[in-house]
Amino acid sequence: MAQIKPFSALRPQPALAAQICELPYDVMSSNEARQMAQGNPLSFLHVSKPEIDLPSATDVHADSVYAKGKENFDRLMAQGALKQDAQPCFYLYRQIMGNHSQVGIVAVASCEEYLQGIIKKHEFTRPDKEDDRVRHIETLNSQTGPVFLTYRATADVDQFIASKIVEKPEIDFVAKDGVRHSAWVISDAASINSLEGHFQRIPALYIADGHHRSAAAARVYKSRNGAGGSAWFLTVIFPHNQMQILPYNRVLKTLNGLTPEALLEKLDAVFIIKKDGAPRPTRKHELGLYLAGQWYALNFRPTFAAASDPVEKLDVTLLQRYVLSPIFGVDDPRTSVDIQFVGGIRGTGELEKLVNSGDFACAFSMFPTSIEDLMNIADGGGIMPPKSTWFEPKLRDAMFCHMI
């Protein structure tokens, strides 16, 4: 079973939500955050990326950065821009991005169930990134960025959500990127009990995005022995059939000493290659290659795509094993300086721009990993390669904070 609980969220005043709520801290650079928050003292980037209020040469992990974040967080609360609900509630959070709509349940989930594997993960975490989130949580005494969870959709929960979102949302705004964010409060005991009961029949939850946030929350829970609200962590939980996964594309710094012609010759052993291919792959086991101003469609030869293990069948695994490592010399994509990853939200035009600039030699556009693949791999205890998925739209920080 998956145990979720209502909580007393710290939330923005509805009229200020559009000014306060921001994209997650880890999808932008410090310079980008500085530009985004310019002229807006209410921007939550002053809390989630507080280095923007310090000299540009400041180490982002300096004590002064975390202290500045707490100062800014306390200021937003003192001003009444952020206010905590008086009683524990569940919340609904809808995002509309173009033609895509998704509605998640905002709740706190169990750190103990995360440690036991009832809340399933599919990625390794990096200690330095965990350390950063631990310090942020400890300094603020709050989890300000939710973990993005999913579950196998059930009719009971679908019907519950549908019955609630016909009402007027308490928060409703369109962000600068065009994504609409709406929130409903579920405070009555009958609805809370009903939702808790529905989730007691759901066998597992899956981390879609937020592995470092959840790992950090679990570390704080253990260090505090569960004191206060530390045994629980902030989540937004979506049904699997509403998830939108975009590709996570790859760009390479060099051709590893090869000419474009020699590279294509080597790739011919792995792929069926078609010149003048479309920039965006249209199915699994198809990739796009942008090389010397030309797009190619690459389809893995059947022998390479015939693996039975769900991790081994992923396009990102096949590309790493048969192309990036042996041909480009990128043995560890987590640490190699010869590869960079580009979220699908930036489009294939960004790949062309990077290669045409001369800073990169070629780019691979990927077909998105499916949510079914993610859940199957997590069910088997498997670990996906780094940068396998890019979820959109992103959850906004400060829509809901969990005070611990």
Sequence ranges of the domains in the chain: 4-240+392-403, 248-367
Identify the pLDDT of residue 334.
85
Cβ-count burial 343-369 (b if 16+ within 10 Å, e if not): bbbebbebbbebbeeeebbbbbbbbbb
pLDDT at 386: 84
Rounded mean pLDDT, 18-46? 96
Q: What is the pLDDT at residue 269?
A: 97
What's the confidence (pLDDT) of residue 2? 80
Asked whether the beta carbons of 154 and 202 are under 8 A apart, the reply is yes
User: What are phi and psi for residue 54, nearest 5 degrees?
Assistant: -120, 165
User: Mean per-residue pLDDT for 198-214?
Assistant: 94
pTM of the predicted model as reported, rounded to 2 decimal places: 0.92
As a whole number of Å, the CA-based R_g of the chain is 22
At residue 157, the pLDDT reads 97
For residue 13, the model assigns a pLDDT of 98
Q: Could you read off the pLDDT of 291-329 as tens digits, one per residue?
A: 999 999 999 999 998 888 999 999 999 999 999 999 999
Contact 58, 130 (CB under 8 A): no
Task: Report which of 244, 374, 371 is spatially closest to residue 311, judged by C-alpha positions.
Answer: 374
The whole-number average pLDDT for the span 389-402 is 96
Asked if residue 1 has pLDDT above 80, the reply is: no
- Over residues 81-140, the pLDDT tens digits come to 999 999 999 999 999 999 999 999 999 999 999 999 999 999 889 899 999 999 999 999
pLDDT at 145: 93
Contacts of 275 (CB under 8 A, 6+ apart): 294, 296
Cα 310 to Cα 303: distance, rounded to the nearest angstrom: 15
pLDDT at 305: 86
* pLDDT for residue 219: 98
Q: Give pLDDT, residue 33.
A: 96
Q: What's the confidence (pLDDT) of residue 271?
A: 98
- Residues 213-231: pLDDT tens digits? 999 999 999 999 999 999 9
What mean pLDDT, rounded, does the chain reach?
Answer: 96
Cβ-defined contacts of 136-139 (< 8 Å, 24+) = 136/48, 136/66, 136/69, 136/216, 137/216, 137/217, 137/220, 137/404, 138/220, 139/66, 139/67, 139/69, 139/70
pLDDT of residue 27: 87
What HEC string does 233-264 produce? EEEEEEEHHHCCEECEEEEECCCCCCCHHHHH
Tell the CATH topology of 248-367: 3.30.1760
Give per-residue pLDDT as tens, 221-275: 999 999 999 999 999 999 999 999 999 999 999 999 999 999 999 999 999 999 9
- Percent of the chain exceeding pLDDT 90 equals 94
Amino acid, single-letter form, for residue 383: I
